[in-house]
Amino acid sequence: MRVLRGSDDRPLLMSRIASIYYEVGLVQSEIARRVGVSRSTVARYLKEARELGIVEVRINHPMARARILEQQLKQRFSLVGAYVLADEGLEYQEMVQRLGALAAEYLYEQLHAEAVLGLTWGRAVSAVVRAMRRPGDFAVHTVQLSGSLGRMGPERDGLELARSLANLLGGRCIYLRAPLVVKTPELARALLEDPEISEALKAGAHAEFAIAGIGSVSTEQSTVIEAGHLFPEDLSILAAAGAVGDIGGRYFDAQGTECAVDQNARVIGIDLQQLKGIPRVVGVAGGSWKSQAILGALRGGLIDILVTDGPTAKLVLVSDLLTSEHIEDDA
């Protein structure tokens, strides 16, 4: 048997060895005999294949879902779907990764040829993108729904997330080549009139699916603070103005109505009314500090599918029940 030894053939041999080991299941000594190299070479190539990304290892954790909470959320808020992670006591980062996997599974079942998928930004959206897999022998296109975070790392920025997901799904990406927030409302209006930006926003508003992170006015795990767009005192001002959370940098109140605040007037991205026009918006968020933001998004009909964790789902349901009863008593 001829052994591939040229520098150009080395990745091919590495790939072949990895395929036999991981897909066929042969032991390293048998692979060495079949391919015609030493066992140590097989071991070295397997290690290098993982380091170079030829082999990617994905652990599919069994994820228990809180089915009763899912049904309660669907009925209470007329949702198309609800996915509630039952696992409690997880560290925040691990919990977000599992929420991303749940959202990815929903999208994997729903996406079809030539579908257009919009994305915002942040930890949760990044987790969904990392968990996605190619849905089949067809292309899915992506579009950036809000401007770029700038100083934030590419792993959470909408531009890079949209680009990497389009590459994975075999489609094209429509970029929104603008910052998330600009200095003045006047500058925002001028940018929104730019043909390239307006066309990108129009494409985003006509997407069929969207992955949306839900931010809160809490400083805990705040991407907008980490990106330098806001300071803790800015979030306090927004909360005093009635804001409970945001999607794509646009802040809304407890009923899911976009707040009339300066921050919203300086955002480059689709507005909340346009978001509501997207047929399937998958809202992904977890953590107790986000319960009021999630509740506001649900009340405003900003999302169609909610992906969250069990403790947060309970807080959302209890908060809605208590505030609804309070409103009825006042009436």
DSSP class per residue in 133-161:
---SSS-EEEEE-B-B-SSS-TTT-HHHH
Q: Does residue 103 share a domain with residue 45?
A: no
Q: Does 76 reside within a domain? A: yes
**Distance of CA 143 to CAs 122, 138, 166, 323, Å?**
15, 17, 9, 37
In this structure, the answer to whether residues 84 and 206 fall within a common structural domain is yes
Q: What is the DSSP letter of 184?
A: -
Report pLDDT for 5: 44
Q: Answer yes or no: are the C-beta atoms of 65 and 83 closer than 8 Å.
A: yes
Give the global pTM: 0.79
Instruction: Note whether residue 136 is domain-resident.
Output: yes
What are the φ/ψ torsions at residue 128 (nearest 5 degrees)? -65, -45
226 and 155 within one domain: yes
- Whether residue 309 lies inside any domain: the answer is yes
Same domain as 112, residue 225: yes
Q: How many domains does the chain have?
A: 2
Per-residue pLDDT tens digits of the chain, which is 331 residues long: 334 444 457 778 888 888 888 767 778 888 998 888 998 999 999 988 887 777 766 555 557 899 999 999 999 999 999 999 997 778 898 999 999 999 999 999 999 999 999 999 999 999 999 999 888 889 999 999 999 987 655 677 888 899 999 999 999 999 999 999 999 999 999 999 999 999 999 999 999 999 999 999 987 877 778 777 778 898 999 999 999 999 999 999 999 999 999 999 999 999 999 999 999 999 999 999 999 999 999 999 999 999 999 999 999 999 998 887 555 555 5
CATH number of domain containing 16: 1.10.10.10
Q: With respect to residue 4, please indicate whether it lies within any of the assigned structural domains.
A: no
Could you tell me which residues are beta bridge partners of residue 308? 84
Please give the residue range of the domain that contains residue 17.
10-51
Please tell me whether residues 160 and 33 are part of one structural domain: no
| Domain harbouring 279, CATH code | 3.40.50.1360
For residues 162 and 175, the answer to whether their CB atoms sit within 8 Å is yes
Q: Are residues 158 and 234 in the same domain?
A: yes
Is the distance from CB of 95 to CB of 87 less than 8 angstroms?
yes
> Residue 245 in 3-state DSSP?
strand
Asked if 145 and 268 count as a contact pair (C-beta separation under 8 A), the reply is no
> 18-56 burial, b if ≥16 CB within 10 A, otherwise e?
bebbeeeebebeebbeebebeeebbeebbebbeeeebbe
207 with 276, same domain: the answer is yes
- Residue 126 inside a domain? The answer is yes
